[in-house]
A = this chain, B = another copy of it.
Amino acid sequence: MHNWTTLSKNELEELREQLEKTYAGYISQNLKLDMSRGKPAGTQLDITNGILDALDNYITEDGTDARNYGVLDGLPEAKKLFSDLLGIPTSQIIIGGNSSLNLMYDSMMRLYVFGTQGHLPWCKQGPVKFLCPSPGYDRHFAICEDLGIEMLNVPMTEEGPDMDFVEELVKKDASIKGIWCVPLYSNPQGICYSEETVKRLANMEVAAPDFRIFWDNAYGVHPVYKEEKLADIFEAAEKAGNEDRIYYFFSTSKITFPGAGVSLMAASTKNIAEIKKHLTIQTIGHDKLNQLRTVRYFKDAAGIHHHMEKLAAELRPKFDIVLETLERELGDTGLATWTKPMGGYFVALDTLEGCAKETVELAKKAGVVLTGAGATYPYGKDPKDTNIRLAPTYPTVDELTLAMELFCVCVKLAGVNKLLKEA
C-alpha cells in the first residue's frame, strides 16, 4: 500500500468503507483493555515478590532500630545503594517515601512558599513560569497548573529539549524559574538527552538566579532494548559553578512495586541543607523498614542492574508487538510517525495534524482506553492534536496484540476521515 496521503478521493472512500467494517468488528467484541498508564503488569510485579520476605531483621548497619522514629534523610545503607547505582555522593541524597512525584510536588511547594538560597519565595515574585519540554509527563505539568505556574511548551528534538529555544528564553526572562526534564527514555518519546544537551542545560545562562532543573530520572536504569548512557548533570553543573541549579529525582516505583517503592531526591549540599531544614518540620522520617527491605533484597547496585535485565526481558515482547504492529499497519501509509525507544515505558506516536483526539475517541468507543489525547502537553492542549502516548506495559501480550491492531485501525480511520475532508 502506497502513502495514503497521495490517494484519490475514490480510493480513500473505498478504504474508509473497509476500515469501518473492520472497526465495527472490534466494536462487536466488547473489548475492555487499558493502555492508558505506565503501570507494570502483575506478571512483571511477580518477578519482585521476593522483596516481601527480604526483611530478615530491622537493625541497620550502624545499629539503628529501623522500626523506631528518626533518621530524617534515609538509612546510610539505602543512600549507599542509590549512590552506587546513580553515581551521586551519599551526602547529596535524601531518601523519601514511596513516591518521587511527592518529592517533586513538595520541592515545588517549598520554592513557592519559602524560596531558595535567600531569594524571594516564588509566591511573592508575581507570575512565575516553567519550561515544559513537550510531549512530556502529564503529572509534571499538573503540579505547575495546581500552583498557577505558567507553562511554556518547549519542542523536543532527538537529543532532548530544543536547547537553542531554551537558552534563548531563559537568558532574558527572570520569571522563568525552571524546566521539567525526563532525561533518559523520556516519557512519552523514549528520548535520551545527549551529552551536549546535558552540558548546555548545566551551563546555560539564566536570568533567574533561583532557576531549577527538575531532573526526573524516572527511567534511569530501565533499558528495554539497549542501555543508554546519560551524562552526569551534577558533574557538568559543578564544573559550570551551577550545582545549585539541579534537583534530581529517582524512585524504585518501576524497579520494585509502584505502590510501595522508595524514592529519592539529590541536590547540591547547599540545597540539601536547605531542604532538610523544612523536611525536619514536615516529618520525623520516612518508612525505614521499606528502605531496609529494598537494600536487603538487592544487596548492591549490581543486584538492581541484574533485576532490571529480568524486567527488560518481560517488557521486550510487549514493545516488540507495539513497534511491529505500527510498522506493519502504518509503516508506509504516511498517516503516522513514532519513536523507537531503547527503554522506559512508552512509545509516542504522532498522527496527521488534528487526528489524535479522534483516534483516541475511536479506540475508547471500541473498548481500548489510551492516554487522553493532549495529556502529554501543558494544560492538556496539544497544539497540533497529533500526539498519542502508548503504554504497552500493563496489558498481557494477547490483549496488547488485539489493542494495537484496533489502535492502528483507529489511526487509519481518523487519518482517512481527515484526508477526505480535505480532498
Q: Is the CB of A258 within 8 A of B113?
A: no
Q: Tell me, yes or no, whether A260 is within 8 Å of chain B by CB.
A: yes
Q: Spot the interface stretch: A37-45, A296-304, A368-376.
A: A37-45
Q: Which chain B residue has the least Cβ–Cβ distance from A58?
A: B52
CA gap between A257 and B67 in the complex, in Å: 5
Distance in Å from the Cβ of A346 to the closest Cβ of chain B?
A: 15
Distance in Å from the Cβ of A374 to the closest Cβ of chain B?
A: 17
Q: Is the CB of B69 within 8 A of A42?
A: no
Within 8 A of B (CB), among A40-72: 40, 42, 45, 52, 55, 58, 65-71
Task: Determine which of B67, B99, B145, B278 lies in contact with A146 in the assembled complex, contact meaning CB atoms within 8 Å.
Answer: B278
Q: Tell me, yes or no, whether A283 is within 8 Å of chain B by CB.
A: yes
Q: Is the CB of B284 within 8 A of A258?
A: yes
Q: Which chain B residue has the least Cβ–Cβ distance from A75?
A: B259
Q: Is the CB of B284 within 8 A of A287?
A: no
Q: Which chain B residue has the least Cβ–Cβ distance from A67?
A: B257
Interface centre among A37, A109, A278 (most CB of B within 10 A): A109
Residues of B within 8 A of A145 (CB): 281
Q: Tell me, yes or no, whether A98 is within 8 Å of chain B by CB.
A: yes
Q: Tell me, yes or no, whether A97 is within 8 Å of chain B by CB.
A: yes
Task: Determine which of B69, B105, B123 lies in contact with A259 in the assembled complex, contact meaning CB atoms within 8 Å.
Answer: B69
| Contact flags A224-266 to B (C-beta < 8 A → 1, else 0) | 0000000000000000000000000000010001111000000
Q: Tell me, yes or no, whether A364 is within 8 Å of chain B by CB.
A: no
Interface centre among A65, A70, A285, A287 (most CB of B within 10 A): A287
Residues of B within 8 A of A147 (CB): 113
Number of copies: 2
Q: Tell me, yes or no, whether A80 is within 8 Å of chain B by CB.
A: no
Q: Is the CB of B101 within 8 A of A283?
A: yes
Residues of B within 8 A of A102 (CB): 282-283
CA gap between A68 and B43 in the complex, in Å: 11
Q: Tell me, yes or no, whether A290 is within 8 Å of chain B by CB.
A: yes
CA gap between A285 and B257 in the complex, in Å: 12
Q: Which chain B residue has the least Cβ–Cβ distance from A65?
A: B42
Task: Determine which of B99, B105, B146, B282 lies in contact with A105 in the assembled complex, contact meaning CB atoms within 8 Å.
Answer: B282
Residues of B within 8 A of A68 (CB): 39-40, 42, 45, 257-259
- Contact residue range for chain A? 35 or more
Q: Which chain B residue has the least Cβ–Cβ distance from A52?
A: B55
CA gap between A55 and B45 in the complex, in Å: 16
Given A42-B65, A109-B113, answer yes or no on A98-B139 (Cβ-Cβ < 8 Å).
no
Q: Tell me, yes or no, whether A142 is within 8 Å of chain B by CB.
A: yes
Q: Tell me, yes or no, whether A286 is within 8 Å of chain B by CB.
A: yes
Q: Is the CB of B258 within 8 A of A67?
A: yes
Distance in Å from the Cβ of A22 to the closest Cβ of chain B?
A: 33
Distance in Å from the Cβ of A50 to the closest Cβ of chain B?
A: 13
CA gap between A70 and B257 in the complex, in Å: 12
Given A68-B258, A146-B281, answer yes or no on A98-B55 (Cβ-Cβ < 8 Å).
no
Nearest 5 A-B pairs (CB), nearest first?
A67-B257, A260-B289, A69-B258, A105-B282, A102-B283
Task: Report which A residues bind B (CB closer than 8 A).
Answer: 37, 39-40, 42, 45, 52, 55, 58, 65-71, 97-99, 101-102, 105-106, 109, 112-113, 123, 139, 142-143, 145-147, 253, 257-260, 278, 281-290
A/B interface sample: 26 pairs, CB < 8 A: A42-B68, A52-B289, A66-B259, A67-B257, A67-B258, A69-B253, A70-B259, A71-B259, A97-B97, A99-B286, A101-B284, A102-B283, A113-B113, A113-B147, A139-B281, A143-B281, A145-B281, A146-B281, A257-B289, A259-B285, A259-B287, A259-B288, A260-B287, A260-B288, A260-B290, A287-B290
With contacts A97-B287, A102-B282 known, what are 19 further pairs, Cβ within 8 A? A39-B68, A39-B69, A42-B68, A45-B67, A69-B258, A69-B259, A98-B286, A98-B287, A99-B283, A99-B285, A101-B283, A102-B283, A105-B281, A105-B283, A106-B282, A113-B147, A123-B123, A145-B281, A259-B288
